[in-house]
Structure 1
Amino acid sequence: MASKKNQAISVTQLQKMTIDELPPVTLVLGQEQALLDSAKAYFEQLLSSEEREMNYGRYDLSEDNISAALDDAASVPFFGDWRLVVLTQPTFLTAETRKNKIEHEFDALIDYLAHPQPTTKLVFWANYEKLDERKKITKAIEHHALIVDASELKGYRLTSMLNQEATLRHVTIDPRALELLLHRVDEHYTLAVAKLKQLALYVGVGKQISVDDVDQAVEQVIEDDVFQLVAETLGHVQQNALERYQHLLRNGNEPIQLLALITAQVRLLLQVKILRHAGYAQGDIASQLKVHPYRVKLAMQQEQKFRLIELKQMFQELVALDFKIKTGRADKAQALELLIIKFSAKR
């Protein structure tokens, strides 16, 4: 049996296919919820409500034996042209140890894959990060099925899909606004789509989503507040720095957590300044430090305002303070506030 894996298509490409164009077997693979929701909506609209009553089957393979699903798939449709059979929880395709293990008849499934019922659309719903491609059954399905990629989106695919989503909402988004949005949602596509829908309603049809729109409508993450706190501290804007620190404490953030985040931010500024002076570009710095390019971009803009000796001194005192707090030699909340006061004082 040939075991060459089919090339995957995107959910967007799937949505453009009619039921006639859809192959007899489809494998939906991945864990990006927004893409899974779109794929689910696509399959749900393939049959009319009347056709679904007679020609739709859904089987949970953690509970149902696949033989029942194959019997259904092998049946001709009643009062319609097509039958749709969806198989969920095919954990046997993964390396995961199965609970309540059911003995599936894989030989019968492999036979069906080689000779599928032409009027049935069989869908494997594999909402997993990856499959165990060492298994014979996995190889067979990947060879015979149309593979739909619903994996987590990254990089260009992520920004491209969000720009497409904006177009569907009849808005555009400034590249800098998109960058900020992705930063605020930690590059989670599903969350970014939800926020983009809100932003589209916020700005209105035909408008462009700006950086200010994202800043106002999408919650700021704690790292952004810490970023501003460090900037205000090293920029000697003492009142703002102290107010921001108290605000973070009131929001339930522990001094130890804030100390760790401040230390990480100052370390990043220090590393970026050193690497930039050594001739590294933004992308190279991000790759070298394994830090998101947006954080590096902000750090490159910020580090130029501070002297190397200031960053080194603050970093050393933050590390020393961490040791003092952990060994009970300093009060965590007061000691960090005193350090902020020291470095934010006018000089």
Structure 2
Amino acid sequence: MVLDIWKQIKKNKIDPVYMIYGTETFLINETKQLLIKQLLNEDELDFNYASYDLEETPVEVAIEDAETFPFMGEKRLIVMQNPVFLTSEKQKGKVEHNLKRLEAYIKEPAPYSVVLFTAPYEKLDERKKITKELKRNAVAGEAKRLTEPELKAWVRDRAGHEGVEIDEEAIELMLALAGSNLFMLTSEVDKLALYAGESRRIDAQMVDRLVARSLEQNIFTLIDKIVQRKIDEALRIYHDLLKQNEEPIKILAAIAGQLRLIYQVKELSRRGYGQQQIAGFLKVHPYRVKLAAGQARHFSDGELARTIEMIANADYQMKTGGMKKELLIEMILFNLNGK
């Protein structure tokens, strides 16, 4: 797991070859930044850091660079992006790679260089010899969505990195408000750390006051208000979104997405799937599944089916100019309230 690799890097226990693969861009980028911080100072960056896109450059060119002695420093960092030859995907362009040269290098890497392969792919082709060799000889980690406990640990660690403590209740609320996007969470934790000032502590009140609500979270809260029969508060959230210049068609799509998720979670739960299994099957974060499961208890299958059909009709009218877009969503909210 990437988080375990980070722990070792922070302890300055650095290996010669790393391979980070997966679709969580933040984790891939953060691994690269950690290696830069540990290996190079600002004066060395221009001389001892290089990045190659392997969709455009043969891998042997990057290897030659890794075999070059560092200048004005002790280590070189070579990043090799998009190693599409590790997947079953067809390569773009006509770049040919000398994979035998790569195999030889990873078995005997240069002691003065660190090589990082960043593979932003959902999965690698495990049948390929080069994939097997890299997994055998490199430190490999999958950059995948963090589980709820991992997310909480990551937020806690990020706050500690900024020199502040964060309460458990504050972490829970932050994840509920901002979602699971690591780029957004980083921004929010850093902002709260600055606001905490000399107290060096982030509490739930601070999070509630300062953390920006994502559109996804606003929609979740809006549906929650409908579940609680608080139509006035649901309408207030909707009008706030309009004031923030959110397009009605985008709001409608987000409402449809949340209701569809509730329907899917409800159905898969009935079939005996656990929340982690549902998250994997639907390719959404487990935290979203947990929240949707809570809302699913308040809707029957028939209510959800009718509501999704109503939203589909509203979407058609929005796109054909049948009625004012803002009013269409208000009508849906009133209908949902009456169920």
Q: Same fold (TM over 0.5)?
A: yes
Cα displacement (A) at 1:91: 1.9
| Deviations, residues 148-195 of structure 1 (Å, cap 9, x unaligned) | 444332222121111111122232333333223223333112221211
Contact kept, 8 Å, 2:76 with 2:112, in 1: the verdict is yes
Match of 2:60 in 1: 67
Distance 1:323 1:154, change over 3 A: closer
Match of 1:4 in 2: none
Q: Give the % identical residues.
A: 27
Contact kept, 8 Å, 2:84 with 2:91, in 1: the verdict is yes
Cα displacement (A) at 1:254: 3.0
Match of 1:16 in 2: 10
Match of 2:144 in 1: 151
Extract unaligned runs of 5+ from structure 2.
283-287
Aligned-pair RMSD on alpha carbons?
4.4
Contact kept, 8 Å, 1:227 with 1:265, in 2: the verdict is no
Question: Relative contact order (C-alpha < 8 Å, sep 6+): which is higher?
Answer: 1
- Distance in 2 (CA, whole Å) between partners of 1:48 and 1:255 is 48
More helix by share: 2
Distance 1:248 1:139, change over 3 A: same
Opposite residue 103 of structure 1, the aligned amino acid is E
Which one of the candidate residues 129, 136, 147 is aligned to 1:136?
129
Distance 1:103 1:163, change over 3 A: same
Number of residue-to-residue matches in the alignment: 320
- Distance in 1 (CA, whole Å) between partners of 2:127 and 2:138 is 17
- Distance in 2 (CA, whole Å) between partners of 1:67 and 1:288 is 42
Distance 1:41 1:335, change over 3 A: closer
- Distance in 2 (CA, whole Å) between partners of 1:40 and 1:13 is 14
Opposite residue 43 of structure 1, the aligned amino acid is L
| Deviations, residues 64-110 of structure 1 (Å, cap 9, x unaligned) | 22223333333444565444433233222223322222111111221
Contact kept, 8 Å, 1:84 with 1:122, in 2: the verdict is yes
**Is the aligned partner of 1:27 residue 2:19?**
yes
Q: Could you tell which deviates more after superposition, 90-99 or 147-156?
A: 147-156
Which one of the candidate residues 289, 307, 328 is aligned to 1:292?
289
Which one of the candidate residues 122, 125, 130 is aligned to 2:115?
122
TM score, norm. by length of structure 2: 0.71
Greater Rg by CA: 1
TM score, norm. by length of structure 1: 0.70
- Distance in 2 (CA, whole Å) between partners of 1:23 and 1:256 is 46
Match of 2:285 in 1: none
**Is the aligned partner of 1:39 residue 2:31?**
yes
